[in-house]
Chain A
Amino acid sequence: MADFIAWVVVLAIAAYACAGGTDYGAGFWDLLAGGAERGKRPRRLIDHAMAPVWEVNNVWLIFILVIMWTGFPTMFQAVFSAMWLPLALAAVGLVLRGAGFALRKPTRRLAQQRIYGAVFAISSLLTPFFLGAVLGGIASGRVEVGTTASADAWANGTSVLVGLLAIAATAFLGAVFLCSDALRFGADDLVDYFRLRALIAFAAVVVLALIGLPVTHDDARYVWDGLTGGPGLLLIILAAVCGLATVLLVWRRSYDWSRYTSVASVALVVGAWGFAQRPYVLPTSLTVAEAAGADHTLRWLMIVTAIAILLVGPALVLLYRLDTMGELEELTDADTRAARTPGDDL
């Protein structure tokens, strides 16, 4: 039963990596979109594409935390004690990202949009880095029950590498999705714009992964072994296949399936990490069974999860469907009958 809940956590992390990751990636490209004039159209696209879904995608993170502290309280305590600073910074980053994004839209002045946009974009870069660094620290066995907060737990080779990998992967997802979004909104020039970026991001992921092999070999030995053998390796290979398929599809300008393959590649990597870490939640000091909370609670957690999947699943499908069908559009000034005020320049 504890194993089952552990897999729920892994799946939720995969879901957040894919759904939230796409939004972080959009923020990454927002950051690199250039000056106000040059970046106007890509930013508009990013705005349109992200707006209806990013809050929902963010809930996966809350869900991960809740399952962690309910299902594996000791592990939650250990991680949050040892990884204090990166997690605190990630939380601040989350606030800035969401607020920057939400406040940029109703603003009609360039100077203000610049500020909100910069806040959104920069924190879209920092937040996945810190979250990735935390995962890297856990994977390399730097968190044990009773570890106190220290820089070493997250400022080491493996952590930095996983953090960078997280940024690259989100950038890849973001670009792939924005290709399809550009197509959907009829911004044909932006399709190629993001196509190029998707390819570059994928190359970055590959390079970082290759650098990672020697860096993590000794540092995160347990997980390294798990990823290069058994079911972990199988999933990594599948992830690589999906990643390459995405590249091929994007290369050939066929965007029907590219989103699904890109998501699959990221989700499979997270799954592979889940396999590689078995049976530990904190390699190699705390196993799933040792960390598990009370049996009764886990049983109820399963029930609650099952009911919720029945409730939330269809709602999520509906939202994503409406979104991809272009049914979701934000209210314009004309809809709410808003006038311009002196000083508006957009």
Chain B
Amino acid sequence: MTHNIITTRRRLIKGALAGAAVIATPAVLRAQGRRDLSMLTWAGHADPDVIGAFEEAHNVRIRAKEYVGGDQMLAQMAQSPAGTYDVILSDAEYVVQLQQAGFIEPLTPEDYPFDDFFPEFQNFRGHWFDGQPYAVFLRFGFLGLSHNRAAMSEAEARSYRTMWGPQHEGRIGHFDWHLPNLGSLSLLNGNASPFDLDEAHWAKLTETMMSLRPQVRGFYDYGGMLSALRSGEVSAIPGIGDWITGVLARDGADVTTTIPEEGGLQWTESLSIGARSENQDLARTFIQYMLSPEGQVKTATLKAYPAMIPTRAGWARLNDELPGEAQRQNMVLNGPNALDEIRAGRIQLRELPVQQSLETWNDAWTRYKNA
């Protein structure tokens, strides 16, 4: 009995001493064991709100290099020695290019919760090669017609055609990137696969685009779109979505995104591990964290731009913790939700052009801007 008390007391003292030692250890000492994880990513993903808890738990510092656009991301990869980046967040359509250039490592399917994914995201296009995944689907969103409600009603926004209306002359804005713009107009032209166009359909598409030019107010970057849509400087911007209007709506602006009857596009962001990364274990742990319910809710509510998430557990957690946000992003569990839009065939994946080169599409866009 006494013996027992003594051992427990000893244990208690020992434990207390050990605990005190850990607490008393200067931060410097703990920092010595800290590892660095480098990440090539779109802006906003290395926000302390998102990665702070992970950094703390794993004693790691995430060093993010931010890029704007897939071309810049590929250029960054091409110009850096292999192993420079441990984690790469890229748009799904660029994963194929990353894989073919040998910039990313194959992943082990068992490491990631693919079973928890909604079926349409499990075997995602362009992510699996010979039965092995090279990227893990992290988040997605829809692109349609984003509009300022005071200038364009939801009823009007039901067709991309409305942008040609005389009341919107000089009031249409553009996100300064060819892919989503041309993709939306391709949907308007009735192309079932908006990025797979033969010569005739491609010519028709550039013609459609050119006819919109007199309506255009300007070409904007992320910040420019936020202020132009909020102020009503432009009444609508095609080919963008909740990643812009969601940010504005959070601040109480009267803007929204409507998916027109001609359909909408889906953007997707995925995580990969950089080829010859020296921190592959840590990179894997990080990707696992981002796919855990906690990480999924964080990425869904990212300050820079919100997004929908592919995991069932993530949806459950979001509905539990932030029912308002789940409602706003159309991710409610019982009742119609965003998945119905995909299942109804209204949403096409944003892709790289199939029959033309990226350069051809780029040139068409530059020509359009300079017209």
A and B part of one assembly: no
